[in-house]
Structure 1
Amino acid sequence: MSTHPSSHISCTALSFSWPDGTSVFEDFQLAVGAGRSGLIGVNGSGKSTLLKLIAGELAPSAGTVRSTGVIGYLPQNLVLDTGLRVDQALGIARTRAALHAIEAGDVREEHFTAVGDDWDVEERAHAVLGQLGLGTIGLDRTVGEVSGGESVLLRLAALLLTRPDVLLLDEPTNNLDLYARRRLYSAVDGWSGVMMVVSHDRELLERVDQIADLRDGEVRWYGGRLSAYEEALAVEREAAERMVRVAEADVQKQKRELAEAQIKLARRKRYGQKMSDNKREPKIVMGARKRAAQESAGKHRIMHAEKLGEAKDRLHEAVDAVRDDDEIRIELPHTRVHPGRSVLTLRDLRLPYGNGLEGEFTVRGPERIALVGRNGAGKTTLLRTIAGRLEPVSGEALVHVPLRFLPQRLDVLDDALSVVENVARNAPEASNNLIRARLARFLFKGTRADQPAGTLSGGERFRAALAALLLAEPAPQLLMLDEPTNNLDMASVRQLSAALESYEGALIVAGHDQPFLESIGITRWLTLGSDPMTVTGGEEDRG
């Protein structure tokens, strides 16, 4: 696909701050050559910002960003005008119109100028669409006729048609079903130029040549795919923890030596006082001895105190070297649903947009249900109908327990309110101190809980939204999550898994992230088909 074998990206002394003064990069350095690089890091570390700087979407406040050849950039939050024709979304509408005019006998110069050397533009467009599994989408259809996942692949097709030398992908598998993901994986496997991909998708990161770990404004490189990176990280962590143990032992040793030195000095002082009281030595000798002892004591005390200080500094450095992405640890006993209790009943449900569910479907007890299926199959529509946000065309959705729903857009938060205030809205009877104590378990400690929701990073926003739901009163005994791992870094995905371990109610999760779904103990896999909607259970139905 790439035609420029010496393509590269470089950032030199790069600095960037947001308008409010928040610094993201300062004197940042980066050099990326040919190959597929996976860019990872915790939410808020600046991954998406870095891609935007390289793509020219943002301008650095200092330093330079350079790249060779054509850059193709696929942003994370992609919105295509639903009224566009597919050829317009692909960026070939003008060339295609000129080509058709020439074929119809219109030989004006402007048409030949528009075509240039791109006489096979339609064949290339069909080939790229076919490669991405969009072969049945005609060039004259509108974007509104394709699903959200297909629109992501459509945007990728548009990039590939420009024959880029550098490809920047920001969370490209978000909202893609398994079929679409496999198509994207194939495109990544076939890439031979420079690629930098931001993702938490384990399967995608197993296809890269190297991992770039962005942390504290610096990038550290690890050769190989994600699994090799995690092995290297485990070795680093073990060595760092060993250094902490050594440093802790040294601090204890220095404390003992300082205490022993102080005991010796106290004995000397008592001996000197005794000699003085008994007047066994001339006054001038005792004075000289006292001054010498004081000087020696002072030097001794300073030496041991300095050693202890140095040992503590080494301990702090060793502790800082241990990478510890905190995990959520909470207790949610009020979410418990007893086995056999009826949680949800769906009967002959006919949904907006033509989907339907024949017969009766029930959820009992603390079941954990994965809702899977192709993009456009109706997963989000079904969840919104159960949550009461959409009215069914016919039939009924009966919820028998307290319900909370976390949509993809995380719009359960009021951006103008702080994290504490957002939780308090859903738990009006809880005291401020109780809410703060509970929020600390969601890693919002101290002043972090007072941050306005509108200033939170993606991972922080997700934790705040999850806290607002799980700490609500009454406690939710049916929790529904729509694509919960979208836009979350791997540490946040682990945090979500940890939080759901404590949840004792019924759970319905719509998603395509199969490793995550398997990690949270799914008990039933339900595959949604298109019109009419069919819901079936069992291991074989994983979508």
Structure 2
Amino acid sequence: MSLPTTPTASVTCSALTFRWPDGTPVLDELSLTVGTGRTGLVGANGTGKSTLLKLLAGRLIPTRGSLTVGGSLGYLPQDVTLDTALRVDQVLGIAERRAALRAIEAGDVAEEHFASVGDDWDVEERALAALGSLGLGRLDLDRTVGRMSGGETVLLRLAALLLRRPDVLLLDEPTNNLDLFARRRLHDAVDTWRSGVLVVVSHDRELLERVDRVAELRAGSVTWYGGGWSAYEEAVAAGQETAGRVLRAAEADVRRQRRELEEAHVKAARRMRHSRKMDAQRRAPRIVAGERKRSAQESGDRLRAVQENRLHQARERRDEAAEAIREDAEIRVSLPHTAVPAGRAVLSAHGLRPRFGALRDGEFHIRGPERVALVGRNGAGKTTLLRTLTGELAPLSGEVRTHVPLRFLPQRLDVLDEELSVAANVARAAPGVSDNEIRARLARFLFRGARAEQPAGTLSGGERFRAALAASMLAAPAPQLLVLDEPTNNLDLSGVRQLTTALDSFEGALLIAGHDLPFLTSVGITRWLLVGEELRETTAEEVRELLEDAGDG
């Protein structure tokens, strides 16, 4: 399907429907219009945000309905993959013009060279400026993608899009896998977006603060909120407070109507008994008694019908009010056996030199219920350090000792057996724990009833993370050191809240490698370590200052 374009930058969907080949519905009769400015598209995992962007970008074909994208379009997918042999100038789309410029500078005045350049004589300067604005100024245009980090690859792809100056720019979770410094560069790029349509799907609260409006995709429709993330949260909270009052009033009305219906039944029965008693006392003729009985029944039936109709309407109002209440369930679990006495040695490393990264001869200690954050640039070796500390990788030199039970939740979540159910995965990590106890604990991780029997391979991204978290936190023996590598990647904002509440109940030590400063702050980090050639103690304030310097540099 080709997408029609119009001169004005805009995005319009009309009765847009999409189903996967197996018939699973994702979007049904969705209609919306996005005008110029910065729009943050939010919603729970599985509501269809990424699918909508793929439809707009032409990567998927709608089942029904229409799409109109006004102007040129740029799209940054959630998973950016580039041929490692490509040069930077090829990714930027300027290789042909660069070659033509070189030929002209060398004295070759062939007409095709001037045709290639057109009016774009400053293409290299503009390309370098675009790279510099995203913190990639040190990249040579002849460098190959294979010599770049994953975060640099994402920023390079974004630079290529910005260089084209599209009228409509779609970004799907652009801060995933970006370090703190790269995130700041991307935040700056969104800040400076001044023309056209920008739609960004993200769980990055700091990024969402920079949009002009928030569009929430929920229950198959879009609701608009003016302002950034904080304004959206305030509006939702106020709406939920009102919805709660309306629901409570509707429930009270249902109870009142139910009582009145019961009273109507009682009154009708009393009238019938009274009528029969009076007829017996007066010895009324059977035909007269029958007429009075029918009249009383009809009167009682009319009264009950009125009351039943009122009760039905009250229930409909209650159900409608209940639909406005959000069900962002939170994980509530008690984990007293994870507690570690203050000051007790949890993990220690001496003379540590991991296989990758810049760290040399590192000393590393965790004590008591400390909550430690590892921060640093992409490629600094945070993941390698975690895998070395947890015993997944052997160091080149030095030793690591753990003094308490440890569980590691890696980015790739490969702690789950795809073929086993959620309950079976937890049982595998907790031998000796009864099936009933496992199911009771899983219910607190929002896997209730049949959901606990769902195979791990069929879970959504958010469900998969919850299952992996449950298998780690509910393990036996209970972990007293929990190690997490970029835990908020690919989690929606509801999932981040669920993770935060789960970690609130964990009483042991935490070691988290992450780039999400608001999340790290929310879980009560007590020590901040900057990963580089050495592990350096730092603070959240210093990290923010480093980001400011990165933004100004």
Band of TM-score, shorter chain: over 0.9
Amino acid in the other structure paired with 1:53: L
Contact 1:329 1:499 in 2 (8 A): yes
1:123 is aligned to 2:125: yes
Query: d(CA) in 2 for partners of 1:42 and 1:154?
Result: 29
Tell me what 1:460 maps to: 463
Instruction: Give the letter for the 1:41 counterpart.
Output: G
Equivalent in the alignment of 1:274: 277
The letter for the 2-side match of 1:432 is: D
Judge conservation of contact 2:357–2:381 (CA < 8 Å) in 1: no
- C-alpha displacement at 1:36, in angstroms? 0.5
Equivalent of 1:296, from 277, 296, 299? 299
SS at 1:156's partner residue?
A: helix
Q: Does structure 1 residue 284 correspond to structure 2 residue 287?
A: yes
Structure 1 contact 348–356 (Cα < 8 Å) conserved: no
Deviations along 1:166-213, one digit per CA (max 9) or x if unpaired, are: 111111112222222221122111112210001111111111111111
1:395 and 2:398 correspond: yes
3-state SS of 1:353 partner: coil
**Partner Cα distance (1:417, 1:301) in 2:** 54
Aligned to 1:44: 46
State the AA in 1 paired with 2:137. G
Q: Using the TM superposition, give the Cα deviation of residue 62 of structure 1 relative to its aligned residue in structure 2, in angstroms.
A: 1.2
CA contact (8 A) 1:7 1:166 kept: yes
Mapping 1:351-362, distance limit 5 Å? 351-358=354-361, 360-362=363-365
Distance 1:15 1:256 in 2: 45
Q: Rate the CA distance shift 1:8–1:126 in 2: closer, same or farther, 3 A.
A: same
1:238 paired to 2:241? yes
Partner of 2:384: 381
- 1:361-440 matches, cutoff 5 A: 361-440=364-443
Q: What CA RMSD, in Å, does the superposition of the two structures yield over aligned residues?
A: 2.0
Q: Is the 8 A contact 1:168 1:196 kept in 2?
A: yes
1:538 CA drift (Å) = 4.3
1:349 aligns with 2:352: yes
Q: What is the Cα deviation at residue 279 of structure 1?
A: 5.3
* Aligned residue in 2 for 1:446: 449
Alpha-carbon offset, residue 435 of structure 1:
2.5
Report deviation, 1:363: 0.7
Q: Is the 8 A contact 1:5 1:193 kept in 2?
A: no
Q: Determine if the alignment matches structure 1 residue 533 to structure 2 residue 534.
A: yes
Shift of 1:385: 0.9
> Offset at 1:277?
4.6
Measure, in 1, the Cα distance between the counterparts of 2:45 and 2:431: 30
Q: For residues 62 and 358 of structure 1, what CA distance do their matches in structure 2 show?
A: 61
Distance between the aligned counterparts of 1:397 and 1:271, measured in 2?
90
User: In the alignment, is the contact (CA less than 8 A) between 1:5 and 1:34 conserved in 2?
Assistant: no
1:258 aligns with 2:261: yes
With 14-23 and 291-300 compared, the bigger mean Cα shift is at 291-300
Aligned to 2:337: 334
Q: Contact between 2:7 and 2:71, CA under 8 Å: does it hold in 1? A: no
2:75 aligned residue: 73
Q: 1:534 to 1:458 in 2, by over 3 A?
A: same
Name the counterpart of 1:12: 14
1:490 maps to 2:469: no
* Structure 2 unpaired stretches of 5+: 1-5, 545-553
Q: Answer yes or no: is the 8 Å Cα contact 1:43–1:460 preserved in 2.
A: no
**CA deviation after TM superposition for structure 1 residue 117, in Å:** 3.6
- Equivalence for 1:509: 512
- The CA distance in 2 between the partners of 1:30 and 1:500, in whole Å, is 38
- Structure 1 residue 305: Cα displacement: 2.1
Tell me the SS of whatever aligns to 2:361: strand
Distance 1:260 1:274 in 2: 21
- In the alignment, what sits opposite 1:94? 96
Q: Identity of paired residues, percent?
A: 65
Please tell me whether the aligned partners of residues 210 and 223 of structure 1 are also in contact (alpha carbons under 8 angstroms). Answer: yes
Which stretch shows the higher mean deviation, 492-501 or 295-304? Answer: 295-304
Q: What letter corresponds to residue 537 of structure 2 in structure 1?
A: T
Offset of residue 316 of structure 1: 1.4
How far the C-alpha of 1:110 sits from its partner, in A, is 4.6
* 2:197 equivalent in structure 1: 194
Q: Tell me which moved more, 160-169 or 351-360.
A: 351-360
The one-letter amino acid paired with 1:10 is T
Which letter does structure 2 place at the counterpart of 1:542? V
State the AA in 1 paired with 2:40: G
Deviations 1:100-125 (A, max 9, x none): 23333444455444434433221111
Partner Cα separation in structure 2 for residue 65 and residue 456 of structure 1? 30
How far apart are 1:424 and its partner, in Å?
2.7
Q: 1:473 to 1:525 in 2, by over 3 A?
A: same
Counterparts of 1:126 and 1:361, CA distance in 2 = 40
Distance 1:335-1:5 versus aligned 2 partners, 3 A rule? farther
Report the residue type matching 1:36 in the other structure: R
Query: Which residue of structure 2 aligns with residue 62 of structure 1?
Result: 64
Letter in 2 for 1:406: L
Pair 5,202 (structure 1): closer, same or farther in 2 beyond 3 Å: farther
1:114-157 CA distance string (max 9 Å, x none): 43443322111111111111111111222233322222111101
Moved more, 118-127 or 490-499: 118-127
Q: Letter of the aligned partner of 2:260 in structure 1?
A: E
2:214 pairs with one of 211, 215, 218: 211
> Secondary structure at 1:352's aligned position in 2?
coil
Aligned amino acid, residue 182 of structure 2:
A
Distance 2:98 2:457 in 1: 43
> Which residue identity is paired with 1:144?
G
Q: Which residue of 2 aligns with 1:475?
A: 478
User: Which piece of structure 1 moves more, 126-135 or 259-268?
Assistant: 259-268
Cα deviations across residues 348-395 of structure 1 (Å, max 9, x unaligned)? 110112422435321111111111112222111111111222111100
Q: Distance in 1 between matches of 2:339 and 2:57?
A: 48
Change (3 A) 1:539 1:40: closer
Mapped contact 2:418–2:457 kept (Cα < 8 A): yes
The CA deviation at 1:68 is 2.0
SS at match of 1:10: strand
Residue equivalent to 2:548: none
Q: Take 1:353 and 1:361, find their aligned partners in 2: how far apart are those partners?
A: 17
Q: Summarize the Cα distance change of 1:312–1:153 in structure 2 as closer, same or farther, 3 Å threshold.
A: same
Whether the aligned pair in 2 keeps the contact of 1:347 and 1:357 (CA below 8 Å) is no
Alpha carbons of structure 1 residues 97 and 451: separation in structure 2 relative to 1, 3 Å? farther
- Note the residue ranges of structure 1 that are not aligned, 5 or more in a row: none
Q: Which moved more, 1:376-385 or 1:353-362?
A: 353-362
* CA contact 2:422–2:467 (8 Å) conserved in 1: yes
- 2:150: which partner in 1? 148
Aligned AA for 1:176? Answer: L
Contact 1:525-1:541 at 8 Å conserved across structures: no
Q: Separation in 2 of the partners of 1:162 and 1:145?
A: 24
Deviations 1:37-94 (A, max 9, x none): 0100011111111111111111111112111222111111222333332222323223
- Residue in 2 that maps onto 1:35: 37
Distance (Å, rounded) in 1 between the aligned partners of 2:453 and 2:113: 60
**Equivalent residue letter for 1:170:** D
1:242 deviation in Å? 1.1
**In 2: Cα distance, 1:275 partner to 1:199 partner:** 76
Amino acid at match of 1:368: R
CA gap 1:391/1:107 in 2 versus in 1, 3 angstroms? farther
The whole-number CA distance in structure 2 between the counterparts of 1:430 and 1:110 is: 75
Tell me if structure 2 keeps the 8 A contact 1:6–1:34: no
Q: What is the CA–CA distance in structure 2 between the aligned matches of 1:67 and 1:538, rounded to whole Å?
A: 45
Once the 2 structures are TM-superposed, how far is the Cα of residue 99 of structure 1 from its aligned partner?
Answer: 2.7
Check 1:5–1:535 CA distance in 2 against 1; reply closer, same or farther (3 A cut): farther
